[in-house]
Structure formats: structure tokens, C-alpha cells
């Protein structure tokens, strides 16, 4: 099986209940129907009932035990969601009438279903912007108590039989934190390593990327990366990590042999940590559009419960894959 097939199979072995906030979008419905067919998840589609039912019929499915519909305009959950949202946000000046209005927002409604235990995780962003999708997750679901920061990563599925011998990598942070300081960069690296182990079930080898390799250039931007590595090694002494590394030194064994001999990860890194969002966003899109990688994400890490963002250019297959990822992030303990 390919990595993505293995990912779906593992999710099907421990299915969860995932709520999708954009049930009015055909891609969301088609991806959800496929996820149900594969046994990955039970899904709830949030949206106008008639619209969602029509799209389900177009996808050859219907409302049932594995596919439910929640219309915030008529749902019996909306009043409780409004009350909870008011209590959650009143310290920020939220009024009760505004809370009732916000409760009908599909992003808020879906995130609140997760917060209140009506679903295990949520997926959105096929229509909404990343900022709106992430804001709802942060405000409603919130950061995990033990997480220093909420960040994101992309799961990059390499083309089959890639000469590097790897079938997938983690790229972080390519979607959320704009310019992390050394402490934040170290936290992103640690969270991404944990996500690598959780989703890929392989030992993480973390490369903190730069335009310099092990002192080949001197600049404040390089110092930020080396400071982050010091923090990472102090906080996670058993994690295989190195930096600063240029991408070729992190990825290609022959380059690593000349640029970073003796490095514990150079040439074999599977977790690539970019120094800022400029580099990360550009890097993953080059790998996707020129390198032929399939990019799944941005996947959020550091939340108290799973909530993930889709690209507005996503396909139905991307939706199915993100449902599988979100299912695997659910803590069944």
C-alpha cells in the first residue's frame, strides 16, 4: 500500500466522529461520503439541510447512521452552543445576542460540537479562509494545556518509488506561525516530531532548516535557528535533531556527507522545520507543484482536540485524507 492508503487503513481501524463545517460544498460531501465508505469515520455535515441532502444524493448517499446533518438554523444544539459560546467569550466583551448569532456560524458551530463532546474532531477551510478556520478552533476548542504554542504542518506524500527512499515527510510550520522566535521554533519542531511519530509511525529525524549549514554563514537569521536547536536539545535530549541545515544537506545523503559529516539526521531527515512562514509556505508549494508531492494540510497541532484546515483549492480526495488524519489525531484514551 502507498503511505496514504496505509493512513486510511489505520484510521479505519479506529474510526472517529468528525464534523465538517462546510456541508454546502460538493467536495466536502464527496470526501465525507468516501470516508464513510472506507470506514474511516462517522461524519456530521453542517449546513442547510435541503442543500446538504441534495449534495448527498448527487454523491450517491443519504442521511443515515454514519452520515448526519446539523443545520445551525434549526438544530436543537444551537441554543446550548450559544450559551457556551457566550460564557467562553464574555470576558472579551461578547454579548448574548451576538453569541446567538455566532452560534449559527458553521465554523463556530462545528468547533463547539467538538468542545462539547458531540464530535471528536472537525475539518473546514475548503471555503473559509485559514484565518477564519483557525480562529474558530483557537477561540472555541483552545490550546492544549501542555502545548507551548499552536502551530501547523503539512504531511507531504512523496511520489511513489522516489529515489530518496522516503514515502512521506513532515513540513512545519507552513501555514500558521509567521515568524517564530527560537523558543517557538523549538516548540514547533518538537510538536512536528510528535506528529511524525503519530501519523507516520516512524522515528522522527528533525532538520532545522536555514540558508546555512553548520556555520557556513553568519547572520541573525541563522542564530535564531541554532538557538532553537539548543532549546530543542535541552528540552528533548532523546530526539534526533540537527541544524542549522540547508535543505539539500538535510535531504540528500551525498550532500550531507560533504556539508554535515557526522550529523545524526543530515541526509535522512523526515521532519523539515522552516525558519519562518515565508520559507515554509514557499517550500511546500514548490515541493507540491514542481516536485510532485501531495500536500495534506495545514494540519494543526497543539489544540486540546483535533481541528484541521483544508486548502481552498482542495479536492474531494484531499477531504477524505484530512478526515483520516483528523481521526488519527483523536485521543481515544
CATH code for position 88: 3.40.50.10950
Q: Are 79 and 50 within 8 A, CB to CB?
A: no
Same domain, 63 and 159: no
Same domain, 75 and 204: no
pLDDT band with cut points at 50, 70 and 90 for residue 139: confident
Range of the domain at 159: 151-289
pLDDT 10s digits, 89-118: 868 777 877 778 887 889 999 999 999 999
Same domain, 135 and 179: no
CA distance 277 to 209: 12
Residue 171, in any domain of the structure: yes
Same domain, 37 and 95: yes
Residue 297, in any domain of the structure: no
Same domain, 159 and 267: yes
Residue 300, in any domain of the structure: no
Same domain, 26 and 112: yes
Residue 273, in any domain of the structure: yes
Same domain, 79 and 168: no
Same domain, 325 and 243: no
Whole-structure pTM value? 0.89
CA distance 97 to 107: 18
Same domain, 284 and 155: yes
Give the pLDDT confidence score for residue 333 in this predicted structure. 63
Q: Are 323 and 19 within 8 A, CB to CB?
A: no
C-alpha cell at 139: 477561540
Same domain, 321 and 273: no
Domain count, the chain: 2
CATH at 259: 3.40.50.10750
Range of lowest pLDDT (7-21, 83-97, 264-278, 293-307) = 83-97
Q: If we measure between CA atoms, which residue out of 309, 281, 251 comes closest to residue 173? A: 281
- The arithmetic mean of pLDDT across residues 285-304, rounded, is 92
Beta bridge mates, 170:
155, 271
Residues contacting 325, CB < 8 A, separation 6+: 7, 11, 155, 199, 296, 299, 308
Give the pLDDT confidence score for residue 331 in this predicted structure. 84
Same domain, 121 and 157: no
Q: Examine the pLDDT at 130 and tell me if it is beyond 90.
A: no
Amino acid at each position: 500500500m502507498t503511505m496514504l492508503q496505509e493512513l486510511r487503513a489505520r484510521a479505519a481501524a479506529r474510526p472517529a466522529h468528525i464534523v465538517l463545517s462546510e456541508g454546502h460544498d460538493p467536495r466536502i460531501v464527496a470526501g465525507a461520503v468516501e470516508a464513510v465508505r472506507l470506514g474511516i469515520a462517522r461524519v456530521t455535515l453542517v449546513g442547510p439541510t435541503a442543500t446538504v441532502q441534495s449534495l448527498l444524493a448527487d454523491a450517491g448517499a443519504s442521511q443515515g447512521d454514519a452520515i448526519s446533518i446539523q443545520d445551525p438554523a434549526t438544530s436543537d444544539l444551537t441554543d446550548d452552543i450559544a450559551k457556551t459560546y457566550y460564557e467562553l467569550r464574555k470576558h472579551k466583551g461578547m454579548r448574548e445576542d451576538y453569541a446567538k448569532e455566532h452560534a449559527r456560524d458553521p465554523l463556530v458551530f462545528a468547533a463547539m460540537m467538538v468542545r462539547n463532546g458531540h464530535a471528536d474532531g472537525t475539518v473546514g477551510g475548503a471555503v473559509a479562509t485559514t484565518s477564519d478556520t483557525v480562529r474558530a478552533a483557537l477561540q472555541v476548542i483552545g490550546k492544549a494545556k501542555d502545548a507551548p504554542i499552536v502551530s501547523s504542518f503539512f504531511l507531504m506524500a512523496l511520489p511513489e518509488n522516489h529515489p530518496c527512499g522516503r514515502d512521506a515527510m513532515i513540513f512545519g510550520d507552513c501555514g500558521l506561525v509567521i515568524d517564530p522566535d527560537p523558543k517557538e521554533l523549538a516548540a514547533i519542531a518538537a510538536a512536528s516530531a510528535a506528529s511524525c511519530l503519530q501519523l507516520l509511525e516512524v522515528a522522527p529525524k528533525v532538520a532545522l532548516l536555514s540558508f546555512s549549514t553548520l556555520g557556513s554563514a553568519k547572520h541573525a537569521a541563522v542564530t535564531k535557528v541554532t538557538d532553537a536547536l539548543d532549546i530543542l536539545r535541552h528540552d528533548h535530549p532523546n530526539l534526533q535533531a540537527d541544524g542549522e541545515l540547508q535543505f539539500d544537506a538535510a535531504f540528500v545523503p551525498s550532500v550531507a556527507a560533504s556539508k554535515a559529516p557526522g550529523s545524526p539526521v543530515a541526509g535522512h531527515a523526515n521532519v523539515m522545520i522552516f525558519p519562518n512562514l515565508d520559507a515554509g509556505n514557499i517550500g511546500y508549494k514548490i515541493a507540491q507543484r514542481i516536485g510532485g508531492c501531495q500536500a495534506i494540510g495545514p494540519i494543526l497541532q497543539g489544540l486540546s482536540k483535533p481541528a484541521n484546515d483544508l486548502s481552498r483549492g482542495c479536492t474531494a480526495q484531499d477531504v477524505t485524507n484530512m478526515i483520516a488524519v483528523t481521526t488519527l489525531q483523536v485521543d481515544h484514551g
